[in-house]
Amino acid sequence: MNNQDNQESGMNCPRCSFKIKFQIQDLLAKNSINCPGCLLKMDMDIPNEIKSHLQEIQMAQDMVAKARNVNL
Amino acid sequence: MNGLYHTGATELHDIFLAPLKAVIDAEMSLTESIKQFIWETGFTSEGEIKTIQFKYLLDGKKETLSVPALSIVTLPLLGIKNATFDMHVKMMTILEDDKERVSLPPLKKTKLPEMKPKVGLKGFLTPHHGALTESTGLKTNMRVKLEMGETSMPGGIIKILALLNNNLIADKNNENE
């Protein structure tokens, strides 16, 4: 089973329960998101500390993607 | 070292165990790094969950939802998917006779326990190329293929993430606009 499937990352929309998936770039760059299911607009308040972690995760994701293509 | 001389051969189980142990050590180190990463990313130094706040209007009311940061994003977990070791081994049966051991005579005349010769399996890793085999004189008589597979995500981490996903959309405050 894929690890990413296990995690089921994202958030259920408080209005329509649609599972909202997030891109780290969106979390870093945007101040608000819209639920794809019901278009509910939500303003995001992300502390700088978490933003720096998100940047680390983004970097790690890029590195993992590269590592998957390496055959030793 | 037993006997009058040492053959230079290694115990077979050591030959097989060494690469497996290296992979297991690597996996443990990886898991430790993931644990540390989750701890630093998802929790404060006081052990509280780091959250992201979402503010929205629902039925004219301003509401705030706090969502654990770790449950929002997919963690880039890298594990060892498969490790294959293909080894060529020259296996030898060695008779280890402790009676042949060179040692100083005992100070007292004590009766030494009767030592029975031991039979052990030892071996050498041998070259894969024929030319090298001839030059080294090590001819493979055993080919070993060990395979390791990836296990799923560690149980503890699955539980942590499940808790974060299911139970901790907690802080819901209603405020009249």
A2-58: pLDDT as tens digits:
444 445 678 889 999 899 998 888 899 999 999 999 999 999 988 888 888 888 888
Distance of CA B88 to the CA centre of its chain: 23
Mean pLDDT, to the nearest integer, of B58-78? 83
Q: What does the block give as tokens for A34? A: 């819209």
Distance of CA B77 to the CA centre of its chain: 15
B82-121: pLDDT as tens digits:
777 777 777 777 766 555 555 566 666 666 666 666 667 7
| Pair B23, B83: CB distance under 8 Å | yes
Higher-scoring residue by pLDDT: A33, A60: A33
| Pair B70, B41: CB distance under 8 Å | yes
| Count of alpha carbons within 13 angstroms of residue A66, beta-carbon side | 5
Mean pLDDT for chain B overall: 72
- Among chain A residues, the shortest Cα distance to B69 is held by A50
The predicted structure's pLDDT at residue A1:
39
State whether B153 and A3 contact (CB < 8 Å): yes
B102, exposed or middle or buried, with CB in 10 Å at 0-12, 13-18, 19+?
exposed
Highest-confidence segment of A38-47, A51-60, B64-73, B160-169: A38-47
Closest CA to B68 of B85, B44, B36, B45: B44
User: CA-to-CA distance for B45 and B55, rounded, in angstroms?
Assistant: 26
User: CA-to-CA distance for B42 and B38, rounded, in angstroms?
Assistant: 6
A3 touches chain B (CB under 8 A): yes
State whether A43 and B40 contact (CB < 8 Å): no
ipTM surpassing 0.85: no
State whether B53 and A49 contact (CB < 8 Å): no
